[in-house]
Structure 1
């Protein structure tokens, strides 16, 4: 934890439970990086205070009396854009669905709601740190501006040697809305399996996979050890487990230490995909930090095709920007162009002989 050398981050808490509100207030007051502005019980009160107080970040409950946290997020991002951290119960389906939709509507991250006081050290630190980190993200008035689907100038299609048979995608901050946009634009006939890494709290991965399944025509689920990948299916990395490509092109889940602080790690995924070289497409989307940059570089050097989300649509350009600086990116595209580009690549790719383990499984 850093000290209180610089200006403290000003936090507005929106939480209807008196117990949880008390816990959040204690966590904020005990952290030298943070300053509590106000703690309110309703979204309506939050909407009144946001333009007056101008908080640096908002801790937002999702199940509130009256207006819920999803509608509050939409209103705040449209009227007075402010970084929002969703504080949610990961064990209830309604809260999970609202949380994921709030992320798509502009909230930046989701953390586990504390059950009561005292909070375990790791849980308390996670909440305080998320509030501090997300306060640094420059948010804008939330409108869907993902870029047009006009052809990209220059060499649009990948090199002729590319013979894709799988896709890997990874993201962190802003990832759920980016994944929903891409997956929602892919057809049911999409010819390759997709391995997906999203940085998210431990209790939310199953709910995230279930939510993403409702946003696309593809089949989405948590990856399982040894699973044979099928075209048009999306395999989401489970919490605290690296998702990698096995030697027989099967799902391989690895309980190894974090890579550069992340587990699951985008770099672990992309590095494992480098084994198939020109048979792989790697896509690195919005996210804070540098996870995935080294792996994407390794994949490109091995002959794979690599795509990074362009700065113009990234919520945070940290991860794709790091990959660009390392020379790991074949092409950078606005979010709105990535799905059409994948469809174009699929249409242009020469037919492949059946991959061992994947034949007859479409």
Structure 2
């Protein structure tokens, strides 16, 4: 065994706080070539009840070895690993042995595209590499929470209904793509022409990486992308996709715009995705549409139900491409999604919704 692979189960011999009832234990594999970064994250994760480090690796070769032997619940991996990058490892893991992955990157990295492509290829989230012990503790809490969400029970498959009947042209289309759902969202954009209705994309992209992400996304998708930073509630324009970062407290206005609230830590017991969709239901009702992509956790399902009850068009990616997705399955179980399908099927539905097919009879030919 390489001396760069560290003890698989050293955490078993240490004393940990008691695990609260109903909270799952998680085993995490760290992959980073910097021992100081690994130590910072190890210390932070080890302080959390029920969380343990099942292995540490400094390169991709050791990471693959540990993936097979340690069977981690989550991998935390540097995006720009030397040799085989985090992007290449992510793609390989998702083919060999699908495992939740969080990629890390320096805030001042000169090449954030590798991290964003890792998200596109199936990684759940992108977080900054810790620069201090305090930052390590905060990131450790996020890592463990993500691992527990990804490990929750998968949704059972249910019968998928046919597309509903006569569509209503929406004034706004909101796309919800949380952790693990970026890839399907981008596949939808590949199949979607420029629409006359504005598109709003709510993401889980960390605000620290958000400007670079919007620039990267704008270069890759046909529609282009801009940050949804309006705070006056004016109507969103059609054309480029308007993008919201993680944790943004945003509401939809009667003018089919977005109002962004800054300086608050969170909306209480309702997720930011549900808050966004619920206000969309209240202000636009049937003159709106929403797509819930397959991400971990259940955020967005309740908001989709609120929209469905107003007559809005509600869509969900189901079965989800992300093997750890929960939100669309919940939306189907509670009757929130009226149409489900793959990214390409969702794109086809939106094309017909905004530009209904011409059903008028053909013009009569010349009389003979």
TM-score, with structure 1 as normaliser: 0.81
Deviation at 1:348, TM superposition (A): 0.8
Identify the match of residue 56 of structure 1 among 73, 82, 85.
73
Distance 1:338 1:131 in 2: 28
Counterpart among 44, 49, 52 of residue 32 in structure 1: 49
What's the secondary structure of 1:214's corresponding residue? helix
* Mapped partners of 2:173, 2:44: distance in 1: 41
Segments of 5+ residues of structure 2 without an aligned counterpart are 1-16, 155-159, 359-368
The alignment partner of 2:220 has SS state of coil
Match of 2:315 among 303, 307, 311: 307
- Return the match for 2:59 from 29, 33, 42: 42
1:192–1:240 Cα change, 3 Å:
same
Is residue 45–residue 137 contact of structure 2 (8 Å, CA) maintained in 1?
no
- The aligned residue for residue 10 of structure 2 is none
CA contact (8 A) 2:177 2:292 kept: yes
Asked which structure has the greater CA Rg, the reply is 2
Q: 1:77 to 1:193 in 2, by over 3 A?
A: same
Aligned partner of 1:129 in structure 2 is 145
Aligned residue among 172, 192, 199 for 1:194: 199
Instruction: Specify the alignment match of 1:82 in structure 2.
Output: 99
- Structure 1: how far apart are the matches of 2:245 and 2:25? 34
Q: Distance in 1 between matches of 2:260 and 2:107?
A: 23
Aligned-pair distance for 1:38?
A: 2.4
Partners of 1:186 and 1:35 lie apart in 2 by 43
Q: Which residue matches 1:359?
A: none
CA deviation vs aligned residue, 1:211-257 (integer Å, no higher than 9, x gap):
32233101212102235422122111144322322232333112466
Q: Distance in 1 between matches of 2:322 and 2:79?
A: 25
Q: Secondary structure at the match of 1:64?
A: coil
Matches within 5 A, 1:274-313: 274=281, 275-311=283-319, 313=321
Distance in 1 of aligned mates of 2:236 and 2:40: 44
Select the residue among 248, 252, 259 that pairs with 2:259.
Answer: 252
Query: Aligned Cα RMSD in Å?
Result: 2.9
Seen in structure 2, the aligned counterparts of structure 1 residues 175 and 258 have a Cα distance that, compared at 3 Å, is same
**Match of residue 174, structure 2, among 165, 168, 177:** 168
Of residues 215, 221, 226, the one that matches 1:216 is: 221
- Per the alignment, do residues 296 and 20 of structure 1 end up closer, same or farther by CA in structure 2, a change over 3 Å counting? same
Match of 1:271 in 2: 278
**Distance in structure 2 (CA, Å) of the matches to 1:292 and 1:61:** 29
CA distance in structure 2 between the partners assigned to 1:252 and 1:217 by the alignment: 26
Q: Which 10-residue stretch deviates more, 120-129 or 82-91?
A: 120-129
Q: CA deviation at 1:121?
A: 4.4
Displacement after TM superposition at 1:280 (Å): 0.8
Q: 1:158, 1:345 within 8 Å by CA — same for their partners in 2?
A: no
Match for 1:178 among 179, 184, 196? 184
> Aligned in 2, Cα 1:112/1:134: closer, same or farther, shift over 3 Å?
farther
Q: Is the 8 A contact 2:204 2:245 kept in 1?
A: no
